[in-house]
Amino acid sequence: MENVSELEKSESILSLQSTIRKLEKAFSQMTQHNANTTLVKKRLHAASVGLAVLETAWNQRPHPYTREALAEARAVLSGLLPSIENSYAKLKAGSPQKTLLERRMKSVKLAIQAIDDLSSL
C-alpha cells in the first residue's frame, strides 16, 4: 500500500466509520418504512469490510472476510466512487461538504487498494 500519513490514516478510518453510521441510519429508516434495503445493506457491508481491511493493513487487526466477500466489497466500493465524485464536483471549493467528500473518496480508494493488496497475497 502507498505511503499514507498518520493523519490520512486517522481521517480515512473516521470517514469510513461515519459512512457506516450514515448507512446504518438509512437502513433503519428504510426498514421502518418497509422500503427495499438491498442496496443499503450491500453498501453497509462493503463499508464495514473496507474499514476492517484498513485496520488490518495499518493496525494489524485481523478480519474475518473471505476472498469472495472481499471481492464483492471491492466491487460495491468501486461502484460508489462515481457518485461521490459527481457530488463532489457540484460543491463549492472550501465547503465543509466538499472536505467530507474528499475524505470519503480517499478512504474508499484506500480501502479498495487494501483489498487489492490482501487479494494478491
pLDDT of residue 31: 96
Q: Which fold has domain 6-119?
A: de novo design (two linked rop proteins) (1.20.1440)
Kindly give the residue spans of alpha helices, DSSP state H, lying in the chain: 6-32, 38-59, 67-89, 96-119
Does residue 114 have a pLDDT over 80? yes
Between helix 38-59 and helix 6-32 the angle, nearest 10°, is 160
Mean pLDDT, range 4-23, rounded to an integer: 97
Using a pLDDT cut of 70, give the percent of the chain over it. 98
2 pLDDT exceeds 90? no
**Torsion (CA) 107, 85, 18, 36 in degrees, nearest 10:** -120
pLDDT at 20 over 90: yes
C-alpha cell read off for 103: 475524505
**Which pLDDT does position 62 carry in this prediction?**
86
Model confidence, pTM: 0.92
